[in-house]
């Protein structure tokens, strides 16, 4: 089932249905987190899975990025909550615990398919090099890509952990077999 979800995200991106792709992509850490950390509560396992498989480890010693916020597990989880439960593609800055990732402004960006749309951070400083403002812009295609690639890889390496997939779905659209039925993966 997870591979089908990844394929649906890819199709949504191809057809420029960016919010559909984003909504579905933001559920992937829920699914993979359940497989990896079944004993944890939803938010904890979501963030823990994102931290391990999605968010790069940023070096605090790097002079060019030491103050720059980056898309971390708190932001992704906050975006998931706001978007899936309120229909608002935003994050709640107070839900971000890493000091370096405290932001004053979050923005999603949709670009043309042939235009790069990765993550862009900005920090402005006041007198004395004190941080005055932090912003981050995240490309919708980029976050969908990162989530689906990590989830697909995780699934392929850990298919045995997805025993909770238990469903029956009949897809009568198949021309070669009108009664094709997709069963839960075991």
pLDDT the model gives residue 57: 62
pLDDT the model gives residue 79: 93
pLDDT under 50 in the chain at which residues?
63-64, 178, 180, 186
pLDDT the model gives residue 42: 94
Find the helix or strand (DSSP H, E) in which 62 lies: none
pLDDT the model gives residue 78: 92
pLDDT the model gives residue 176: 57
pLDDT the model gives residue 56: 67
Q: What are phi and psi of 141, to 5 degrees?
A: -60, -40
pLDDT the model gives residue 184: 58
């Amino acid at each position: 089932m997870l591979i089908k979800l990844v394929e649906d995200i890819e199709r949504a991106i191809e057809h420029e249905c960016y919010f559909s792709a984003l909504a579905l992509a933001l559920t992937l850490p829920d699914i993979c987190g359940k497989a990896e950390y079944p004993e944890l509560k939803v938010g904890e396992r979501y963030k823990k899975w994102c931290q391990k498989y999605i968010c790069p480890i940023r070096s605090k010693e790097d002079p060019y990025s030491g103050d720059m916020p980056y898309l971390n597990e708190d932001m992704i989880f906050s975006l998931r909550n706001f978007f899936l439960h309120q229909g608002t593609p935003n994050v709640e800055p107070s839900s971000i615990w890493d000091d370096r990732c405290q932001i004053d402004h979050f923005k999603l960006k949709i670009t043309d398919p042939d235009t790069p749309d990765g993550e862009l951070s900005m920090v402005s400083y006041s007198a004395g090099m004190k941080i005055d403002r932090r912003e981050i812009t995240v490309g919708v295609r980029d976050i969908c890509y990162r989530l689906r690639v990590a989830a697909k890889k995780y699934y392929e390496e850990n298919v045995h952990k997805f025993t909770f997939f238990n469903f029956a779905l009949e897809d009568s659209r198949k021309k070669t077999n009108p009664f094709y039925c997709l069963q839960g993966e075991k």
